Every structure is written in C-alpha cells, then in structure tokens.
Amino acid sequence: MLKGLFFNQDCTDFFYSRGPEQMNSEAVDAFVDRLASLGVTALLVNTNAQRTNYASEVWEPLWTGYDPTGPDDQPVLKHQPAEGVAAMRRLLNNMLALVAKDVDYPARMIARCRVRGVQGWISLRMNDLHDVHLPDSPLLSTFWKQHPELRRVPYRDSGWTDRALDYAHPEVRDHYMVLIRESLARFDPDGLELDFMRFGYHFAIGHERDGGVLLTRWLSEVRDLVLDWERRRGHPISLGVRVPADPITSRELGMDAVVWAREGLCDLVVPTPFWTTCDFDLPLELWRDLLEGTSASLGGGLECRLQPYPGAPARLLKPDEARGAATHVWAAGTDVLYLFNYFESGHFGGLWTEQDYTETLRAMGSLDGLTSLPRTHCVTFRDTSAPGYPVAYSLPAEGPVCIFRLQTGPRPTGGKAEVVLGLEMPEGAKPPRVRVNAHLCEEGTLADHSLRVPVPLEVLRDCITVFEVESAGPSYPRIISVAVTFTP
C-alpha cells in the first residue's frame, strides 16, 4: 500500500521561480532535498501540459517555435498578455539553459529522489487546457491546434473545457500513449500518475459512459506497459490516477476509478477538486468504502485556493486552513495526503512565511502533527460536476435559520475553538446566534464583517461539526463564509 505525503510539482514552477544561474543539477537536487527534509514521501514530477518541459523525442518541448534571440512579438509570444511575456521568456530560457547543460530535469529529479529515499514519480496531465483561449502560446501543442475536430465540444466554445480533446478518438489516445511510453522508457520512476484532473473533461457531452468503457480498456494497456517496465527495471512501478472528488462525478465523466481499482488497474486513487477551491469536505469515507477489498490506496487531494461558493471572491489558503483540509484527509482514514499547487518556491504568493511552509508541510505528515497546530475548516463547494448535474453549495445564505455541515476531523482535546462567520449586515440586522452541534453558543463579537463565536470544547464531536446560524428578523445578515478554528 502507498502511504504518506505526496507532492505534485508542476511542469513550470521550477523554471518560472528561479534565475538562470540555478539551472543546473545542483538546484534540482536541492529542490528534492528540501522536499525530503519536509517529510514528503513521494514527489510527483509533472513533465507536461500540452508540451513537455524536457527534450522529448515524441512530443514537442515547450520551447518549440520559440527563438530566444527573437523579439517579444514572435508568433508564440505575441498573444501573451504584455505583463506575462518576461516570465514566459524566463521559463523557456531556463528550460533551454538546463538542457544546454545536459541536465534531463525529470530524470535528475527521480535520481535524486532515489538517493533521498523519496518516491520519484512521473505525473502526466492528460488533457491540459492552459492558454486554449489564445490563438498561439508556447503552452499549446501543434497537435491540439491542428485538430479542432478532435475536441469534445466542437460545436461550442464557451469555456476552456469545451476545447479539451475527446479521448473517444483513437488519435487522442495514441497521442498520449506515446508520451506514456517515453516516460516509462526514458525515466526510471517509482510511479506513473495519469492526472485526469487537468482538466477533468475528456469526452463529448452525453458520451461519457461509453467513453469510460474505452478509457478503462485503454488504462489496462497502460497497466500492461507499467507491469512490463516493472519487470525490466526490477522494482515496483505504481500507477496512480487523479479523479473528481465525487465518485458519481468520476463515473459520469468517464473516469470510473472504482472499476479501475476493482480490476486492479491502478494502485492509487486521488479524488480531488479541480482548482477553483480546495474541498474541505471530500467524501473520503465513501471512497474508502468503495475501494475496500482492492489493492488501491486512497489519497485525498488538496488544492491551494479558497472560494466559499461559485463566483465568490477567492484567495490562496492560509496555513491554518491548509492544515484544516489536511486534517480531514487523515482523519477519514485515507492512505495518502496529496498536495497540488503547494509550490515550495512562492510560499503561497508570500502569504505564508518560509516557516509557515516548513512547519505546515512537516505537520501534514501525520494527524498528530496537524492537530498539534492551529487549524481551520472552511465551508466550500465541489468545483467539478458532470454536465447536466447541478452544483450544490451552501453559501451565500440568509434567513432565520441557516445550517452548515463540515467534516472537521478529531474533536480537540484541549485549547479553544471558535466559529468565524463572514457577514454582510443590512440596515437593522442583528448579529446572529450560533449553535454548534445543537448547543447554543454565547454571543459572538462582530468586527470587520466577521462574527467570532467561542465554542465550548465539550460540544464538539469527532468527524463532523454542524453550525446553525439563527437570526432574528425582519432583516437578516447575509452569510458569505463559515469556518471553525481549533487552537490547541
């Protein structure tokens, strides 16, 4: 069984976030060493979006068509937003610089992982759509640009995912299979991840069930390849998948991870949100029930953003919020905590200190580690659904009684607990009272649109906290966020 803290490193961060002087094998090693020191169990090295970040022989590298000595209005750059050109050039120049030094980035990552006792995986994005709204970009492959007829929604163009490739076409499956073959032959990973959540939509609308049958058959071909390379390499090579948070969504979108696990086609299933918001309420116990009796491990996927409801203002998670989401993952009996977009480089755009990052990642290795630090659990929503199934969300809310439910991990055994409500107060509205698990808490303190309500520890329960927000009319506060913080 796979266990521990899994860390996905996207295909561009290393190159975006460093100067050219760091484009060498020592910097790659130092990155791995840093993650190893944080207690990361497995590093999933993402090597592609629509192109590769290394000098692939079967796909285009990201720098294809880019002239380092050319102007900012060369074809692959001229559609970039002006403020992004310099960063894009740095990315491409850095990739070229590393290649010029004969450093094969993914191979070096994996080799260093092996030295440090960290599992080194290759993670492939199976349908990446960054920049598909642009006529050209270094991120767009010639294959994607030349085959609009292979898109899943060829008759409409209202969103990025309409432009995803349709895996019902053998050309699309073959296009990805050559990259899989190269990844297994060229690198020597401990695992291969097929990241179906970049971007999560792989089939025409209404054809996802048929697509799911195709994809399962195709996955068994991948499994055979992996088993073949296991024999050649003489060590296990795990196969993992990232899929939607909800099992029904997963099946309805053609990613039938339950079947995959039951047929022995994968070793790790990671339910995860797409990106819009970290999902603090992943249905991991349901997944655990579904995977029971299979040899697949279960992961819980964390993202980096917080959005309480569709269209609400979003921001990056704070450390205590990341720890809250992580606490639920471990508490639900999951095998793997999986971090996506938890870049070591930027420390959440400066929102976290380096110490926050170090402390939080180290704490994430275990439930005990997490519960020894302050943590916050937030009401969010599930950001991925099958076309035609409604998206459910609890916020915003107003009225005499508004109720919110959240999976909050083990009940705290000491310290303090506080509910924090984000409120918009219309003329004449009074601050609401809050019940936690039916217990009427004392009145809270309202400041800066936040109502803070202390919660007696003895009313808390394992796994679940339910908040009833009671408002006296005639005008009601509008509740725009709900969170609970446990401070040991």
Cβ atoms < 10 Å from Cβ of 58: 15
What are residue 23's phi and psi, to 5 degrees?
Answer: -85, 75
d(CA 377, CA 367): 15
Is 466 a binding residue for its own copies by CB under 8 A? The answer is: yes
Locus of tokens 């796994």: 463
Residue 177 CB, shortest distance to its own copies, in Å, is 25
Close Cβ partners of 457 (under 8 Å, ≥ 6 residues apart): 411, 412, 413, 414, 415, 416, 417
Does residue number 285 form part of the binding site for its own copies (CB under 8 A)? yes
Give, as one character, the DSSP assignment of residue 477: P
| Distance linking the first and last C-alpha atoms of the chain | 32
Q: Would you tell me how many other CB atoms lie within 10 Å of the CB of residue 311?
A: 9
* Total binding residues toward its own copies, as defined by CB under 8 A: 50
Q: Does 293 bind its own copies (CB under 8 A)?
A: yes
Judged by CB under 8 A, which stretch of 83-91, 138-146, 288-296, 330-338 contacts its own copies? 288-296
Q: Are 179 and 60 in contact (CB under 8 A)?
A: no
Binding to its own copies by residue 156, rule CB under 8 A? yes
Q: To which residue do tokens 């279960």 refer?
A: 298
Instruction: Write each residue from 208 to 237 as x if it is in contact with its own copies (CB under 8 A), else as -, in one continuous string.
Output: xxx---------------------------
Per rule CB under 8 A, is residue 279 in the interface with its own copies?
no
User: Contact at 8 Å (CB) between 336 and 372?
Assistant: no
Q: Closest distance between its own copies and the C-beta of residue 394, in Å?
A: 5
Of residues 61-120, those binding its own copies (CB under 8 A) = none
Q: Kindly tell me which of 387 and 431 has the beta carbon lying closer to its own copies.
A: 387
Among 311, 388, 428, 474, binds its own copies (CB under 8 A): 388
Residue 440 is a binding residue for its own copies (CB under 8 A): yes
Instruction: By CB under 8 A, tell whether 386 contacts its own copies.
Output: yes
Token digits for 440? 């009427």
**Is residue 153 within the footprint of its own copies (CB under 8 A)?**
yes
Q: Which of 393, 451, 477, 480 binds its own copies (CB under 8 A)?
A: 393
Query: Angle at the Cα of 199 (from 44 to 267), degrees rounded to 5?
Result: 40
Per rule CB under 8 A, is residue 467 in the interface with its own copies? yes
| CA max distance for the chain | 73
Min. distance of Cβ 158 from its own copies in angstroms?
A: 7
Q: Which residues bind its own copies (CB under 8 A)?
A: 153, 155-156, 158, 204-210, 247-248, 251-252, 258, 283, 285-286, 289-290, 293, 386-394, 400-401, 403-406, 435-438, 440, 461-468
